Chains A and B, each alone.
Chain A
Amino acid sequence: MEQYTSQARLFDENQQLKQKTLKMEEVLARLTELEKENARLKELLQASRENPLPSQMARVIYHVPGNWYETLLVDKGKGAGIRENMVVVSTQGLIGKVVRVDQSSSLVRLITDPQMEISAINQRSRDVVILQGNFNKELKGKLIPPRADLQVGDMMVTSGLGGVYPKGVPIGTISWISRNDADPNPKIKAVLAADLNHLEEVLILSPTTP
């Protein structure tokens, strides 16, 4: 009888311990998630401090579906002072710009959208080119001067021309160049500095011109 009671007690204890382990695992997962979020937010805060323009943090809440548009939705809208054409960046570089604002959310067009054209400057040679979205985390060159000094691996940053994008925000690095005699203008492709597939929080910058 005593042995039976002892076994039953052991069984109960075992069940309780199993439940406790499950709870601990859940807490641990939540803590890991918080730790990662904390690290990301710290980086973002640092980036916002380094940026001369006033900015605010927004969370990515929806990746708009479709294969012919590259847009996403963030959780800040008119209520937070967001306006159209505000520039969106991450800790790594340029993300896009706000194209539509609702009361509590905004639609951001990513720089990989073909409707986006950005004036960029080569950080090494200071040559200015126009980069256009080309889907798949890639940009292609447009309106490149024939004698432009461009090399694979060159970092392209925003030129500040046009008044929408502030000067010096990293866009990406040149990954491919093609020159031929028939066409005086070289063709280039650039890979993005920012990882658009793993965006969770972004910074929305206030406009450079009021």
Chain B
Amino acid sequence: MMLQGLFLFFLTFFFWLLEGSFFSHWTVWGIKPDLILILLVLTLLYRGTGYGLFVSITGGLLMDSYLMSQGFSTLFYLAVTFFLSPFLVKIEEDGMVLALLVMVVTTLQNIFFFLWLLASGTHPSVFRLIQVVPAQILFNLLLLIICYVLFRYFRILINLFRKRHGDSETTTY
């Protein structure tokens, strides 16, 4: 459990670094993806609410540390965890529902950010919102598919490793 927590921490940190380095240049129409959200969705799908909470707090705090959003990201990822957990337990690995949930969450995230900026006295244009939402949905879905495939292969590899070493448990990463 400790090892899995540590692994998730480093994975979250890696995703956060990747978002601020590679994906700040590699964008879709100038829009960046939300890798922490993708990691959170996959963690909820494969590991359940407990680990999801861990990723949402770790990822949220990392984002908030430099976004100057006063805890907004952490609160948002926690809300996503509570919103998605019941669905993800039921759908298991239904790709279409998963994609739909990511679309809804991405849209809500950007609407909240927009409203939050409005409330804080800045007036971002509605055009920006119209520009960001579809581009980020597209980017998030594309990366979700890639990460989903990678996670599945990784899980198969771990299971093979466990079988070879005589471990009967086969339902972890």
Interface set of A (CB-CB < 8 Å, partner B): 62-69, 71, 73, 99-100, 107, 114-115, 134-136, 197
A64 adjacent to B66 (CB under 8 Å)? yes
Measured in the bound complex, the distance between the Cα atoms of B24 and A67 in whole Å is 10
B67 adjacent to A66 (CB under 8 Å)? yes
A65 adjacent to B68 (CB under 8 Å)? no
A67 adjacent to B110 (CB under 8 Å)? yes
Given A64-B67, A68-B117, A69-B68: A115 in contact with B122 (beta carbons within 8 A): yes
Interface SS of chain B = helix
Q: Is B13 an interface residue (CB 8 A)?
A: no
B67 adjacent to A71 (CB under 8 Å)? yes
A208 to chain B, nearest CB (A): 24
Q: Which residues of chain A come closer than 8 Å to B132, judged between CB atoms? A: 67-68
B78 to chain A, nearest CB (A): 18
Measured in the bound complex, the distance between the Cα atoms of B63 and A143 in whole Å is 33
Interface SS of chain A = loop
Q: Which residues of chain B come closer than 8 Å to A65, judged between CB atoms? A: 16, 19-20, 23-24, 32, 34-35, 63, 67
A68 adjacent to B20 (CB under 8 Å)? no
Q: Which residues of chain A come closer than 8 Å to B24, judged between CB atoms? A: 63, 65
B128 adjacent to A135 (CB under 8 Å)? yes
Q: Indicate the member of B20, B63, B69 with the most A CB atoms within 10 Å.
A: B20
Q: Which residues of chain B come closer than 8 Å to A136, judged between CB atoms? A: 30
Q: Is B171 an interface residue (CB 8 A)?
A: no
Closest to A63 in B: B24
Measured in the bound complex, the distance between the Cα atoms of B128 and A102 in whole Å is 31
Measured in the bound complex, the distance between the Cα atoms of B19 and A197 in whole Å is 15
Measured in the bound complex, the distance between the Cα atoms of B114 and A36 in whole Å is 40
A68 adjacent to B114 (CB under 8 Å)? yes
A175 to chain B, nearest CB (A): 16
Q: Which residues of chain B come closer than 8 Å to A73, judged between CB atoms? A: 66
B124 adjacent to A114 (CB under 8 Å)? yes
Q: Indicate the member of B68, B123, B125, B132 with the most A CB atoms within 10 Å.
A: B68
Given A68-B117, A114-B122: A63 in contact with B67 (beta carbons within 8 A): no
